[in-house]
Amino acid sequence: MFKTFSMELAGRTLSVDIGRVSKQANGAAFMHYGDTTVLSTATASEKPRDGIDFFPLSVEYEEKLYAVGKIPGGFNKREGKASENAILTSRVIDRPMRPLFPKDYRNDVTLNNLVMSVDPDCRPELVAMLGSAIATCISDIPFDGPCATTQVGMINGEFIINPNQEQWKNGDLQLTVASTSEKVIMIEAGANEIPENVMIDAIYKAHDVNQTIIAWINSIVAEVGKPKHEYTSCAIPEEMFAKMKELVTPEEMEKAVFTDEKQVREENIRVITEKLEEAFADNEEWLAILGEAIYQYEKKTVRKMILKDQKRPDGRAITEIRPLAAEVDIIPRVHGSSMFTRGQTQICDVCTLAPLSEVQKIDGLDDNEKVKRYMHHYNFPAYSVGETKVSRGPGRREIGHGALAERALIPVLPSEEEFPYAIRCVSETFESNGSTSMASTCASCMSLMAAGVPIKKMVAGISCGLVTGETDDDFILLTDIQGLEDFFGDMDFKVTGTKDGITAIQMDIKIHGLTRPIVEGAIARCREARFFIMDNCMSKAIAAPRESVNEYAPKISQITIDPEKIGDVIGKSGKVINEIIARTGVKIDTADDGMISVCGCDQSKIDEAIKMIQTIVTDYEEGQIFTGKVVSIKDFGAFVEFAPGKEGMVHISKIAKERINRVEDVLTLGDTVTVKCMGKDKMGRMSFSIKDAQ
């Protein structure tokens, strides 16, 4: 026997079937929003995983192409690894839910979301977020929920709650907000330079909608929710902490961690660790959890000094940004490059330009094939944090950071008509000690300008941290958090934007939500900081986009022809266009609307190719002059190719002013000649004259 629960949400019916499917999962929610259908499940292991000091939560978002009536491409005809959208959606589900599980819980938990049907009016990502929350809340897994998620778009200055796919894609705002019954717990946003006050209004409009969803989820839990199961706590014993403080006093720990050099701090902690390992040599139980215990001791020390004494580990003031440095053109021969350094965080970004045919095509859960013209890729090698580890390709963190920087810069990119290039930026992390994604945004902005991409405005990004006390009004915000403050703090609030507004937000927290004063304060603090970075660092390295693309970058020229004549340019089986490419060495892209892009490194070759195309599509009139090549000689005359695939005949009588007996007396194959169009002959062929062109 199953039950169905429904509510009206943004003008559409949201419903969930409980007990209908997947009964062996700890919790299962069969979600329906319009015609979008998602199965969300929550499962947990019976026992904690041994030997770990973290909560092993896994979130999956599975996109099945049958949901939109497609068969996957490729040889195997089945879905492969998760798409970028699936990975980013998993992260957005993970971030608000992870803090609501008990901090000492070490049982494996998996939240799985299977997208089975997609209604373009009801985005499946939102349904999966709500489904994961419901499945976990009704399960026996310990969870301090419920939580709910709402998306907000904006078109013509008006907010749209849970916009459809088209409104989400084409609006000025893509905001996702998760909340508990009291506070905001997650913010993810992409925006077209939205002012800070408008962004705050949108966040709390979503927060208000979340309260109605939470009330609905509470009613479901009251009726079908399971009692939460008991679990083995992995908290550090208080007697162990007491003994550690005897051996390493709080003053000693404070001295060890409060330094602006990450390597020095790590060495200090290593010495303390060895001292405690020796002291606890006979206590295997304590030795097994010593690493976590030292981490907790560090954390308490740092949080106390920041909150009570407003003292940061590296000695900075609460609003102070670490030392900044920026430069461009550090890598030769690439199309654009820059390096941005903020303290011990350093990013080198390289920009590459290519014709529009190089855009990324994505086969996703959309009615049409998605295309990405701007691609931002972020790499985080182990050496950037002084570790040794084999690279296995980008993980979820790398994909998420790259997507954030990409989202930050899209609003300022020129249109395809203004700048007909595909653009790729790659951020290489040289050194990391906090907020490399924001350094990546700054470096990428400078790299684009160095490459000659005419971006509309400069974009910078910064992260704001948080340490909270026992009450909601006992907190302190930290500008430009370093790694230690991120690890031990309560929030990583990243904001990017121009001087006119916000372009992206990503907020991670480790507590049960943020009050409105914290959200407003963090947004204001990030605004001040990014202005400082632009004025005092980035603009000194490069103040505006270069007027032309780099000498090593491809040059692109475009012309528009009658769409009916695209076939003439391409020719049978591509013969004509391939001949143009072979002769000039350029790359040619055609569009159904008649737009032709010609790309190459030599502008003279581009001009030559365009001239050929224009010749091919010209409606020939008597009196026009062409230059061509003799491609065939007959007794009665010669055929001259004046454009790839286009030939005309010169009668023997039109070759020279004086009478000639044989064509070969004057012309040979391959000769370049100038001809005048004489109209069409009796057979409908183009008729040329050499003698009348002289």
pLDDT at 367 over 60: no
Q: What is the mean pLDDT of residues 643-648?
A: 80
Same fold, 3-152+195-224 and 324-541: yes
CATH topology of domain 238-309: Arc Repressor Mutant, subunit A (1.10.10)
DSSP assigned state of 321? P
**DSSP H helical segments within 289-362, as ranges?**
290-309
- Domain extents in the chain: 3-152+195-224, 238-309, 324-541, 555-617, 625-693
Q: What is the pLDDT of residues 290-329, one digit of tens each?
A: 888 898 898 888 898 898 888 898 889 999 999 999 999 9
User: What is the side-by-side strand order in the sheet with 345-354?
Assistant: 324-328, 336-342, 345-354, 422-431, 374-379
Rounded CA gap, 498 and 510, in Å? 28
Task: Give residue-wise pLDDT tens across range 542-574.
Answer: 999 999 998 899 999 888 888 888 888 888 888
More confident residue, 232 or 27: 27
Q: Tell me the pLDDT band of 137, cut-offs 50, 70 and 90.
A: very high
The CATH number assigned to the domain with range 625-693 reads 2.40.50.140
pLDDT at 52 over 70: yes
Q: What is the structure's pLDDT at 531? A: 97
CA atoms of 434 and 196, how far apart (whole Å): 24
For 3-152+195-224, which CATH superfamily applies? GHMP Kinase, N-terminal domain (3.30.230.70)
Supply the pLDDT for residue 571: 85
Query: What integer pLDDT is reported at residue 262 of this predicted model?
Result: 80
Specify the pLDDT at position 170. 92
Tell me the average pLDDT across 602-615.
87
- Assign 83 to helix, strand or coil: coil
**Angle in degrees, CA 683, 689, 694, rounded to 5:** 170
- The CATH class given to the 324-541 domain equals alpha beta
Counting residues of the chain whose pLDDT is more than 70, the rounded percentage is 99
Q: What is the DSSP string of 525-594?
A: HHHHHHHHHIIIIIHHH-SS--SS--TTSPEEEEEE--GGGHHHHH-GGGHHHHHHHHHH--EEEE-TTS
Give the CATH H-level superfamily of domain 555-617.
Answer: K Homology domain, type 1 (3.30.1370.10)
Could you read off the pLDDT of 658-687 as tens digits, one per residue?
A: 888 888 888 889 888 988 888 877 766 778
pLDDT per residue over 465-515, tens digit each?
Answer: 999 998 888 999 999 999 889 989 999 999 999 999 999 999 989 999 999
Q: What is the pLDDT of residue 573?
A: 85
